[in-house]
Amino acid sequence: MIKKLTLLLLFLYCCSANAQTAKYTPTADNLVSREKFQDLKFGLFIHWGIYSELGAGEWVMHEKNIPYNNYKRLADFFNPQGFNAKEWVAFAKRAGMKYITITSRHHDGFSMFGTKASPYNIVDATPYHRDPLMELAQECQKEGIELHFYYSLLDWGRPDYAFGSPIVNGKPVKGDWDSYIKFMKDQLTELITKYPGVKGIWFDGQWERRSVDWHFDEIYGLIHKLNPAILIGNNHHLAPIDGEDFQMFEKDLPGGNTTGFSGESKIGKLPLETCETINNSWGFNITDRSYKSVKQIIHYLVNAAGRDANFLLNIGPMPNGKIQPEFADTLALVGSWMQKNGESIYGTRGNIIAPQQWGVITAKNKTLYAHVFELPQTYIFLPEVKGKITKVALMSDGSSVKYKQVPEGVFVYTSSLKADPDDTIIQLTTN
Ligand code: FHN
């Protein structure tokens, strides 16, 4: 009897040890999703919630010290009658974007979807009573736009999260951590199983509690069990951890660290994405007029592609559900640029040749695209070009460009070229 019991205990121990050390192996479908995601290159990030009503960004509750119970009243008058999923998806498509990542729940804890896990959601707590994320998911599916859900790990209001509470042994002292983890798992299950065509989950807020046990093994495991092809990314500003499928950067190109967020986010081997705001705010901000120009956005997109990253450009729609005209005008022009030059962006890979002083290089099949931001008077040099160059041409009109290939790389002579102020694209074909 004792021997049997010992064997049973040994077996159970081995199982649990295995469970702890089991490494994530992405499925074949997941690997396909990763490739496809990398091909998309340009996405629309949307921060929209009851905070939009105050027109001061998504951190307004925290920044203005609004007590949670007072802040919650915003739900009573959130009624975005102007929201139209068709218009949002058409807006993204016009800009040349191929996917949308939208806030399903931000740090204020308000769920922008119909959830059974909390009454504090757009369907049950607002006079709107509609589920914009369901409408968006259906429209995205119809229009062939991929949909990802942003999901905040941090919650300023739920008692089980206990914001501000000290953490001991991986849990907040005053909260109910197990209940909070269960709540997130319930919501994520809803987001993945109820909403059609969801392709990714974009976590944020881990950085608020570095020492807590987030149960990522369970959470990521659940997501991949429900749909192994779903891509998981986490904006923890660290190197990717086991179970993640893409790596993201905030307000910085991979390798950069102008914001201070990316000091520890060493670039790994996963697909990359970088996000940036169209002005200086994520959520709707009525006083923020620092709009980026068409040229700045094109350069960001091209610079990201050259570093092998997707570009997720954020807008904060207004509380009535409309997108402000300044964003629409700029992005329509970016879209025209993409219509003409998208071949050198969509489906390409970057970092095949490192970024150069004059610009960056993207690559697809046997073609290299040199994106020259400042056209030098004499030549540009592309180092370490693999294969023999058979043709060099200006992408805008197909005219031939003089070049010389040497063992160290290729000289492309630029003196007779007409510079494009946004991006002079030179196409190099290899055999
Ligand atoms: O605090 C958030 C912020 O509101 C916004 O959602 C951005 C998007 O990358 N992420 C967080 C800051 O890291």
One-letter amino acid for residue 279 of the chain: N
One-letter amino acid for residue 7 of the chain: L
| Residue 59 CA, closest ligand 1 atom number | 4
Residue ranges of domains in the chain:
26-348, 352-430
Best of 104, 208, 235, 259 for a ligand 1 pocket test (most atoms within 8 Å of beta carbon)? 235
Backbone dihedral region for residue 260 (phi beyond 0: left; psi -120 to 50: alpha; all else: beta): left
CA 150 to ligand 1 center in whole angstroms: 10
Would you say the CATH fold of 352-430 matches that of 26-348? Answer: no
The pLDDT tens digits along the chain (431 residues) read 445 544 444 444 434 434 445 799 999 999 999 999 999 999 999 999 999 999 999 999 999 999 999 999 999 999 999 999 999 999 999 999 999 999 999 999 999 999 999 999 999 999 999 999 999 999 999 999 999 999 999 999 999 999 999 999 999 999 999 999 999 999 999 999 999 999 999 999 999 999 999 999 999 999 999 999 999 999 999 999 999 999 999 999 998 888 888 777 789 899 999 999 999 999 999 999 999 999 999 999 999 999 999 999 999 999 999 999 999 999 999 999 999 999 999 999 999 999 999 999 999 999 999 999 999 999 999 999 999 999 999 999 999 999 999 999 999 999 999 999 999 999 999 99
Best of 274, 282, 312 for a ligand 1 pocket test (most atoms within 8 Å of beta carbon)? 282
58 lines ligand 1 (CB under 6 A): yes
Closest residue CA from atom 1 of ligand 1: 205
Classify domain 352-430 at the CATH topology level.
Immunoglobulin-like (2.60.40)
d(CA 45, CA 101): 5
CATH number of 26-348: 3.20.20.80
How many CB atoms lie under 10 A from the CB of residue 82?
A: 13
pTM above 0.75, yes or no: yes
131 lines ligand 1 (CB under 6 A): no
Sign of CA dihedral 107, 110, 116, 119: positive
Reduced to 3 states (helix: H, G, I; strand: E, B; else coil), residue 237 is coil
Nearest by Cα to 356 from 317, 397, 287, 412: 412
Contact indicator for 371, 396 with CB cutoff of 8 Å: no
d(CA 111, CA 267): 32
